[in-house]
Each structure stands twice: as structure tokens, then as C-alpha cells.
Amino acid sequence: MKARTIGLSLLLFFVIGCAKKSSVQTADTTNIPATAAPTTATAPAASSQPSAAPTFDAKKVSVHNLPDSVKPFVSQNYPGYVIAAATYDPLCGGAPAIDVAIRAKGKPAYSVIFLPSGHYVQREQDVPLSTIPAPVIATVKTKYAGFKPGRQAEKLVLVDNSIEYSVDLLKPHNQREAVFSSTGEVLCEGKE
């Protein structure tokens, strides 16, 4: 039990240690009732119930090797969507995460992000750079002068439905990813 608590504490330390002023919020997806009414494609309420972190091997992430809670979560929260792919994609700051690409005919494509424990973190959608808030663009131009932003950004919808934006920043021999609040505040920065 003590080793389990230490392992969970270490996982939470890495996840929460990502940003200066933000923390990763998750929703417990392990107890989704089979008869629950469908919800919208926004994040469910967060749960404070911890669960043990399973052994995680980034090389083994695939559609066929997902935490048990992922498929029911997608079915319940994204009716009509199917899981198209799953890859290891660490969060900004390096915490391990699983990027699950979901698709549905006639609907936007999303990536839903989970911790290795199966806890939901956020939904990501590629959006044109021209659609992100002006304060984010202003911060990119001032704080990252000399870097060129990618052609698109990712709109991140977190568990509490707050919105952040991830922008790839490019310079010869130097690639970074930065996550911004809607007001342009840098929440996290990492090397690509």
C-alpha cells in the first residue's frame, strides 16, 4: 500500500509540476455508469478519487492497449465517434499522456488526452492560428521574437471546460511548444 501511495504521489508530482501557474486537472473515468445519459462533447466533472498508476510503457501505446476506462469514456461522452488511433504524447512539461484520436463522419476530429491511469485530462482540436485570441498572438510575437509559430494551433478544452491554446514555435535547430491561457499568459513551455 505504501509503494502504491508513493507511486501515485510521484505521478501527481510530475503532472502538477508542468506549469508555473496552472495544473493538470483530470476526471476519473474508471466508474462510468453503463446507463448514464449521453453528455455533450465537453469534459465531465473532475473527481478527487485517486487510483493506482499502472505500469506504463510508452512504446506499447496503441488502440488495442488502452486503459480500460478510455473506450467507455469515448462512447459515453462522444456518441458516434470511433477511436482512430492512440499514441504516446507527453503533456507540456513532460508528464506521460496518451493521445486518443477520435473521428465521426460529419463532425470535428478531436484528440482526447488521458493519463496512463485512464484519467481524462483534456480535449484537443487543431484550429487555424488566425482563430486564436489576439492576446495569445501578441505574447507569441513579444516573448518568442525570432520564433515562427506553426500554421495551426491546438485548442485545449480542460476538465473544467476552461480553454487554453498550444502553439508550436519554430526556429532553426530549436522547436518549442508553449501553452497559453486565453488572455495570453504562458502557462507551460517545453521543447518539442
Mean pLDDT over the full length of the chain: 79
Q: How confident is the model at residue 57 (pLDDT cuts 50, 70, 90)?
A: confident
Which long-range contacts does 83-87 make (Cβ < 8 Å, 24+ apart)? 86/61, 86/62, 87/61
**Which residues neighbour 71 within 8 Å (Cβ) at sequence distance 6 or greater?**
83
**In this predicted model, which residue has the larger pLDDT, 24 or 57?**
57
Residue 131 scores a pLDDT above 60: yes
Q: pLDDT of 93-108, one tens digit each? A: 889 999 999 999 999 9
Q: List the grid coordinates of 170.
A: 519554430
Q: Specify whether the CB–CB gap between 176 and 169 falls below 8 A.
A: yes
The percent of residues in the chain predicted with pLDDT above 90, rounded, is 60
Q: How confident is the model at residue 21 (pLDDT cuts 50, 70, 90)?
A: very low
Measured distance between the N- and C-terminal CA atoms of the chain, rounded to whole angstroms:
36
